[in-house]
Amino acid sequence: MATGALWDRLSLALSPGPNGYGSPRRRSPPMHRLFDTGTIEAVRRGLWSVETLSRCIVEASSDCIEVLDPQGNLQFANPTALQQLRSCDTAENEGEPWSLSWPEEARAAVLAGLEAVRETGVARFSHWRPGIFGEARYWDVALSRMLDDDGGPIGLLAVSRDITASAKTQADHELRSRELSHRLKNVFALVNGLVTLSARDIPVVQPYARTLRDRFTSLGRALEYLHASPQDKAAPRPAQTLQALLRALLMPYDGVGSAHRRIRFFGGADVPIRDTALTSLALIIHELATNAVKYGALSGDTGTVSLSCRRYDKSISLIWCERGGPPIAQPPEHAGFGATLVQRSVGGQLGGKIAYHWWPEGLRVVISIPIDLLKQTEAT
């Protein structure tokens, strides 16, 4: 491929416009000065044209820059891309489908990115792609559509940044986190065993021992959700969200005492939740479900529990509503340890508020939690 001809076709597309590279540029001055005063000889002499400047920017970039035609076939690769991904000459690969330079397991993500950039003008994905010597590298790829002066598509720009180091750091962190989770689950199992043995010959404390074991089991269930692996090993780990956690925690209670559904979820707010909120939520849901089994809607054969989430300006409310259980004559006179634990979990770790409504037809609990203490911040 003739390099000069390529730059003639792409000079406008590779020149920065008001909206970034590839944006239509309306009759910009033919010469570009780097400084108001010509302190550099080349600038003073007017040698820095837009085309020359664009060429130097692309060639000097430490990112791998590849230009594709609208169909996704390779047309150009900058020196960094040639050194890290390809041979020494673009012409050897010119015209081949860009997706073929990616391994088979990444092909679906690449094709989806190309389809998205054609439709919306931008796309982004990350995946493993071998370097020129076959070494594994993880790339963050930004795709953008290039337009001519009249706004017509003339090609696609693929900018790939090597983020292998951060990907390996994240993988190491995930491995250590899973190891910690495994050790904590073993600790829970050990403590449960010690509690059982300690209470075996003391009947009066066995109910308390059973309650303690159930709470540790609930915490273990939250850990299992936190580090659940996807069924497809090639797929990313599922997002850790509020409603997914609630369903995982309440799943063991869904069939208690009856064959039909006992727990009913209603659509509502759902946000990614941070790890530090998992323990408190696990204890809260466990106490509510346990009380429902002992005294409330789940103590009979026909009662149900509905759970919904509503989002307000700066908070999310969890609404727990029991129906079909024994009628409630009056609120309990004293709060037990479980209620105290829930109150401290909501008001302490989660910085929220909880309100109990003891209606004759069933208990209604409203838990309000600030979003900034619940929501997992997005990675930047």
Provide the token pair at 48: 């820095």
* Same domain flag for 196 and 125: no
* Same domain flag for 377 and 284: yes
CATH of the domain at 50: 3.30.450.20
DSSP secondary structure of 97-139: BGGGGS-GGGHHHHHHHHHHHHHHSEEEEEEEEE-TTS-EEEE
Structural domain that includes position 182:
170-237
* Same domain flag for 228 and 309: no
Helix axes 206-226, 164-199, angle to 10 degrees: 170
Q: Are 151 and 12 in contact (CB under 8 A)?
A: no
* Same domain flag for 91 and 190: no
* Same domain flag for 269 and 294: yes
Which region among 90-94, 146-150, 189-193, 313-317 has the lowest average model confidence (pLDDT)? 90-94
CA distance 37 to 43: 9
pLDDT score at 365: 95
Task: Count how many domains the chain has.
Answer: 3
Identify the DSSP state of 46.
T
CATH of the domain at 311: 3.30.565.10
* Same domain flag for 254 and 370: yes
pLDDT score at 21: 40
- Over residues 84-136, the pLDDT tens digits come to 887 655 556 778 899 988 999 999 999 999 999 999 999 999 999 888 777 88
Task: Report the pLDDT averaged over residues 281-296.
Answer: 86
Domain boundary pick from 162, 194, 227: 162
Q: Quick one: pLDDT band at residue 40, thresholds 50, 70, 90?
A: low
Choose among 163, 83, 90: nearest CA to 128: 163
Domain boundary pick from 107, 141, 162: 162
The torsion angle over the Cα atoms of residues 86, 94, 107 and 244, rounded to 10 degrees, is 80
* Same domain flag for 359 and 263: yes
pLDDT score at 233: 44
* Same domain flag for 205 and 137: no
pLDDT score at 188: 67
* Same domain flag for 232 and 243: no
The torsion angle over the Cα atoms of residues 106, 107, 113 and 115, rounded to 10 degrees, is -170
Instruction: Look at strands 304-311 and 263-265 and give their pairing.
Output: parallel
CA distance 339 to 346: 11
Domain boundary pick from 162, 181, 206: 162
Residue 262 confidence (pLDDT) above 70: yes
- Over residues 62-88, the pLDDT tens digits come to 899 999 999 999 988 888 888 888 765
pLDDT score at 239: 60
* Same domain flag for 32 and 58: yes
Q: What is the b/e burial string over 158-187, where b = at least 16 CB atoms within 10 angstroms of the residue's CB? A: bbbebeeeebeeeeeeeeeeeeebeeebee
* Same domain flag for 140 and 182: no
* Same domain flag for 26 and 152: yes
Q: Quick one: pLDDT band at residue 25, thresholds 50, 70, 90?
A: very low
Its pTM stands at 0.48
- Over residues 204-221, the pLDDT tens digits come to 888 878 777 777 776 676
